[in-house]
Amino acid sequence: MSDHRENNVLRFEHPGLGRKRAKSTPKGRQVDPVAAQEIADLLGDRPRRRDLLIEHLHLIQDRYHQISAAHLAALADEMKLAFAEVFEVATFYAHFDVVKEGEPKVPDLTVRVCDSLTCDLYGSDTLIADLKAKLGPDVRVIRAPCVGLCDQAPVAEVGHHFIHQANPDNVAAAVAAGDTHPHVPDYIDYDAYVAGGGYHLLRTLRSGAMSVDDLLQKLDGAGLRGLGGAGFPTARKWRAVRGEPGPRVMAINGDEGEPGTFKDRHYLNTDPHRFLEGTLIGAHVVEAEDVYLYIRDEYPVAREILAREIVKLPPGGPRIHLRRGAGAYICGEESSLLESLEGKRGLPRHKPPYPFQVGLFGMPTLINNVETVYWVRDIVEKGAEWWTSHGRNGRVGLRSYSVSGRVKEPGVKLAPAGLTISELIDEYCGGMLEGHSFKAYLPGGASGGILPAHMNDIPLDFGTLEKYGCFIGSAAVVVLSDKDDIRSAALNLMRFFEDESCGQCTPCRIGTQKAVKLMERPVWDQELLAELSQTMRDASICGLGQAASNPLTCVIKYFPDEFAPRVAAE
């Protein structure tokens, strides 16, 4: 075989094979110069660190209303990452509209309509159909999982502006007016918070006038537990992280995606500095130099408020990084949240090691829910006795119940821990809606199970519901009436879990899919569904798969009347 060079192009010749010119350009995806310049301009002087990949993808999505293959390639080149790595992250999160080569452009405006349980009860299916007909082809109308506004159902999102109690007319009016930005309500800003004694506790702690041990003892005395769902004792967690060798970091889990839950949104949107002071106190206790606030993408108002107020914080504290989720319920799981903060897909980690040992960027990490740190100042300043003076039915403390469904006055209800569903409905929610009779309730959101109305005397708190196959979780209470189909409610929840499964483990990925198909049948194969549920509980990596079947098993156990008429009809 011989070779020749013409115009700097190497040609190979082989007897019997003829002459063949090698390609003059390298193999693989090429970076479009125009796209490269657009990405460079968009990123500006921002760091190109790997953990900022999701933030940079948001910049592209916000600017161009989609993420093209050309922009993905340019971003990968700009950040010195493999295209496949950037592609897999961009396609993992629901709020990134990745357009592959040859696919049509995404419309500039998207309207998302929540179709989770409470919005479904209030007609989201009809709203979606009406909006598609009314808005025409230039506006994309799509379904969305819970957006944390269950007390205002049904809800539609026009760009980043949420329409409460949405109907075709008020959504169309927002579209016509170009009303796509979040509306920030009045809230307690830095000056008002300081005027009310805010940050005095933080200064006392930093000055040494109060010791870390004294503060932890007060939290111990109150029995404050994690209010994101797990209920782990707060002081014990802080001590565990503090006991690990430094450096240490702190992460706030503000990815409140459980259908029916909206308490964190309420506190972030009304009194953000009470949350921020609690966060800074936690960071001081564990000596964290960096704090990462992970706020779900469905909370643009909270992110706007935090961005305004963080710059006003007292000097001398840790560096605070405000990070934006991208539409993935799984990132509410603590290890998935860490993966997302590192700019990766939100896949749960295997444990051990636990995040307090090996967490964000491999460092010991304190992870707390928004509401947990929100209460730190009040407990320490008012005393543990103030917190423990509340409670009913043998329970102590306060709980923020997110109540939605068929009640007259839905919303966040700050009430004694341990009150019953009957007490919650009658004393805090104005009773049931006119024409509706109490039939069932979800005591802990989508994964917390479903109980019938006659089981109305169970204290709603940690440890009281587990023996019934339920749990309180984040205290998201959805009330169902005689006008609602319990089997349809359970199916809605399972479809949510099917959509939100990260796909990493087979029991969850395939189990939720199979459960949906079985639950869509007129007659449920209860024995097969029970076997499938047990497999998911035993073998799934994280809480999503382990708890996804709780509503299903509750319906089979507690609502036999839901099956008898249908079996007879067959």
Average pLDDT, the chain: 93
What average pLDDT score do residues 402-421 get? 98
What average pLDDT score do residues 370-374 get? 98
What average pLDDT score do residues 28-47 get? 93
pTM over 0.75: yes
At 7, the pLDDT band (50, 70, 90 cuts) reads very low
At 230, the pLDDT band (50, 70, 90 cuts) reads confident
Beta-carbon neighbour count of residue 300 at 10 Å?
A: 20
Helix H or strand E segment including 141: strand 139-144
- Domain 33-99: top CATH class: mainly alpha
Instruction: Please spell the DSSP secondary structure of 370-409, one letter per residue.
Output: HHHHHTHHHHHHH-HHHHHT--STT--SEEEEEEEESBSS
408's CB contacts (< 8 A; 6+ apart) are 429, 430, 431, 432, 433, 434
Assigned CATH for 487-563:
1.20.1440.230
Q: Which tokens is 270 given?
A: 């009304």
Tell me the three state secondary structure of residue 479: strand
Q: CA angle 453-458-462, nearest 5°?
A: 130
Give percent above pLDDT 90 in the chain. 92
- Interval 476-501: pLDDT, tens: 999 999 999 999 999 999 999 999 99
pLDDT of residue 124: 97
Closest among 476, 446, 214 to 369, alpha carbons compared: 476
Give percent above pLDDT 70 in the chain. 94
Domain boundaries, the chain: 33-99, 109-177, 190-382, 398-482, 487-563
Helix H or strand E segment including 491: helix 486-500
Amino acid (one-letter) located at 445: G
12 pLDDT higher than 60: no
The CA distance from 254 to 275, in Å, is: 11
Beta-carbon neighbour count of residue 144 at 10 Å?
A: 22
Tokens 């093209």 locate to: 68
φ, ψ for residue 162 (rounded to 5)?
-95, 135
At 563, the pLDDT band (50, 70, 90 cuts) reads confident
The CA distance from 450 to 441, in Å, is: 6
User: Are 414 and 270 in contact, with CB atoms under 8 Å apart?
Assistant: no
pLDDT of residue 394: 93
pLDDT of residue 36: 97
pLDDT of residue 562: 87
At 27, the pLDDT band (50, 70, 90 cuts) reads low
Tokens 């590192």 locate to: 342
Beta-carbon neighbour count of residue 524 at 10 Å?
A: 21
User: Are 527 and 494 in contact, with CB atoms under 8 Å apart?
Assistant: no
The CA distance from 527 to 211, in Å, is: 57
At 30, the pLDDT band (50, 70, 90 cuts) reads confident
pLDDT of residue 9: 42
At 472, the pLDDT band (50, 70, 90 cuts) reads very high
Q: Are strands 67-68 and 18-21 parallel, antiparallel or unpaired?
A: unpaired
pLDDT of residue 11: 41
What average pLDDT score do residues 226-238 get? 94
Instruction: Please spell the DSSP secondary structure of 292-308, one letter per residue.
Output: EEEE-TT-HHHHHHHHH
6 pLDDT higher than 80: no
User: Are 530 and 518 in contact, with CB atoms under 8 Å apart?
Assistant: no
- Interval 124-180: pLDDT, tens: 999 999 999 999 999 999 999 999 999 999 999 999 999 999 999 999 999 999 999
- Interval 300-325: pLDDT, tens: 999 999 999 999 999 999 999 999 99
What average pLDDT score do residues 22-45 get? 82
- Interval 57-90: pLDDT, tens: 999 999 999 999 999 999 999 999 999 999 999 9
> What is 190-382's CATH topology?
Rossmann fold (3.40.50)
Q: Which CATH superfamily is domain 109-177 in?
A: Glutaredoxin (3.40.30.10)
Domains 398-482 and 487-563 share a fold: no
pLDDT of residue 1: 44
φ, ψ for residue 456 (rounded to 5)?
-105, 10
21 pLDDT higher than 60: no
Burial code of 36-72, b = ≥16 C-beta within 10 A, e = fewer?
Answer: bebbeebbeeeeeeebbbbbbbbbbbeebbbbbbbbb
User: Are 509 and 348 in contact, with CB atoms under 8 Å apart?
Assistant: no
- Interval 322-369: pLDDT, tens: 999 999 999 999 999 999 999 999 999 999 999 999 999 999 999 999
What's the CATH architecture for 398-482? Answer: Roll (3.10)
φ, ψ for residue 474 (rounded to 5)?
-95, 15
pLDDT of residue 564: 65
Beta-carbon neighbour count of residue 522 at 10 Å?
A: 8
